[in-house]
Amino acid sequence: MELNNIQPGEGAKHAKRRVGRGIGSGLGKTAGRGHKGQKSRAGGFHKVGFEGGQMPLHRRLPKRGFKSHLLALNAEVNLTDLARLEASEVDMLTLKTAGLIGELVKKVKVVKTGEISKAVKLKGINATAGARAAIEAAGGSIEA
């Protein structure tokens, strides 16, 4: 094989459609645009979702739902993650340095997923009722 023999694969290239070049081409006269109307004219088209002046679907349907922008500032930590930490006192900074929560998080809550066997003291972190019971049963405490 030489550089001057390289060719594209079979069917990879095809001729561009040439419209408006006579009756024999099959795309002469109106050039595949049909007769009259907005879509037949140069520059005449409408935006996506336009329904000819009828109230468009996205405006006929009611608004629904809401997603708070504050959700990004809240985080959850489970009991298994707490058990893996070496620290006996856990606060926001400890969790951030361990990579369990994001840097922008302002509120953390411990949820009861998994088990904890070592005593952990939580400072400035909330916990669900089940998680609180599990932490206290293991000899830990929670300071809000």
Identity of the amino acid at 45: F
pLDDT in tens, the chain (144 residues): 899 999 999 999 999 999 999 999 999 999 999 999 888 999 888 889 999 899 999 999 999 999 999 888 999 999 999 999 988 899 999 999 999 999 999 999 999 999 999 999 999 999 999 999 999 999 999 987
Enumerate residues 6+ apart whose C-beta is below 8 A from 108.
Answer: 74, 75, 76, 77, 92, 95, 101, 125, 126
Model pLDDT, residue 1: 82
Q: Which class for 57: exposed (0-12), middle (13-18), buried (19 or more C-beta within 10 A)?
A: exposed
Asked if residue 73 lies in contact with residue 105, where contact means CB atoms within 8 angstroms, the answer is yes
Give one DSSP letter per residue of 15-77, joined into a string: PPP--SS-GGGSS-TTTTS-SSSGGGSTT----TT-BTTBPPHHHHSPP-----GGGGGEEEE
pTM of the model: 0.55
Could you tell me the domains of the chain?
Answer: 70-143 (3.100.10.10)
In the β-sheet with 74-78, what is the strand arrangement from edge to edge? 74-78, 107-111, 126-127
Angstrom distance (rounded) from CA 133 to CA 119: 12
In the β-sheet with 121-123, what is the strand arrangement from edge to edge? 89-90, 121-123, 141-143
Dihedral sign, Cα of residue 32, residue 36, residue 40, residue 41? positive
